[in-house]
Amino acid sequence: MAEPRGVEGRVCIVTGAARGIGRAIGEALLDEGACVCFADLDGARVANVAEENRERTGGAAIAAAVDVRDRAQVRAMIGRTVEAFGRLDVMFNNAGINKPMNFLDVTEENWHLIMDVNGLGCLIGIQEAARQMIAQGGGGKIVNTASIASRQGFDNVAPYCASKWAVVSLTQSAARDLARHDITVTGFAPGVVDTEMWEQVDRDLMEIGAAERPGQAMEEFSAEILKGRVARPSDITGTTTFLASRASDYMTGQIVMIDGGMTLV
């Protein structure tokens, strides 16, 4: 009989899973029979997400409160997952933040905040997941959330773009280092996805005078999308489940664009 190539029985962690893209990634994995740890800074909200999903599917969903910038908390999240499900097969480093500022006004504080969550958080997540995978043996997969902002610099979100370019280079560096352990490291790059992140971006852009009304930024960013509309989180999950599955075993060091044809790179 052929080896199973899906995600059934695979143990996965998804960070930033209290809402938006991360929640959808976790739910899609659970629907395909994976065991999922939903992890987020918002511990109360992510606990509800896991509970709702256990009720919805009867599946193996747990929650972990984690700040991805804090190595001890990331280790505890992995420990909790291994305690519940026996191992870790797939790590999604998905948690991310944005805080727009006009380019000339960007402060050190803004830079450090965004680079710490999106860049350092990704590095720590890769390292700690890999340590667990190496210790248990049998390889594994690490999947990082990049962005169209990993391919182009945009003016009001310079640190965010820098942090998402960092995700690409961390993916490549880690892929080179971890291949000898049969650990693959890939990423995916969404374009404009309709999530709560955009509500915050709207508020910030209006505050700095770069937008006049809610929804304007999303409209302007979306004008060039060949598919003619912004993405829903469910547009992303076919690819993320594939990247978590054995069907993608021969891919590593790559970033898959999922932007409806917005950037063509």
Ligand X SMILES: NC(=O)c1ccc[n+]([C@@H]2O[C@H](COP(=O)([O-])OP(=O)(O)OC[C@H]3O[C@@H](n4cnc5c(N)ncnc54)[C@H](O)[C@@H]3O)[C@@H](O)[C@H]2O)c1
In the complex, the residues that contact ligand X under the rule CB under 6 A are 15-16, 18-22, 40-42, 66-69, 94-97, 117, 121, 145, 147, 190, 192-193, 195-197
Choose between 104 and 226: whose C-beta lies nearer to ligand X: 226
Q: Largest Cα–Cα distance of the chain, in whole Å?
A: 62
Q: How far apart are CB 41 and ligand X at their closest, in Å?
A: 4
Cα–Cα distances in angstroms (integers) from residue 127 to residues 62, 72, 132, 170, 193, in the given order: 22, 12, 9, 10, 28
Choose between 172 and 200: whose C-beta lies nearer to ligand X: 200
Cβ atoms 175, 253 nearer than 8 A: yes
Question: Is 164 annotated in the active site?
Answer: yes
Q: How far apart are CA 185 and CA 144, in angstroms?
A: 8
Torsion of CA 179, 126, 112, 96, to 10 degrees: 110
Alpha helices in 43-195 (DSSP H): 43-57, 71-85, 108-114, 121-136, 158-178
Q: How far apart are CB 187 and ligand X at their closest, in Å?
A: 10
Choose between 20 and 159: whose C-beta lies nearer to ligand X: 20
* Catalytic-role residue among 99, 141, 160, 227: 160
Q: How far apart are CB 240 and ligand X at their closest, in Å?
A: 11
Q: What angle do CA 158, 159, 165 make, to 5 degrees?
A: 90
* Catalytic-role residue among 141, 164, 227, 250: 164
* Inter-helix orientation angle 237-244/20-31, to 10°: 60
46 closest CA partner among 14, 76, 11: 14
Question: Is 227 annotated in the active site?
Answer: no
Choose between 136 and 254: whose C-beta lies nearer to ligand X: 254
Cβ atoms 240, 13 nearer than 8 A: no
Choose between 45 and 246: whose C-beta lies nearer to ligand X: 45
Q: How far apart are CB 223 and ligand X at their closest, in Å?
A: 15
Q: How far apart are CB 202 and ligand X at their closest, in Å?
A: 12
Q: How far apart are CB 120 and ligand X at their closest, in Å?
A: 10
- For 110, other C-beta atoms within 10 Å of its C-beta total 16
Torsion of CA 174, 160, 231, 54, to 10 degrees: 60
Choose between 121 and 140: whose C-beta lies nearer to ligand X: 121
Residues annotated as catalytic (active site), given as ranges:
160, 164
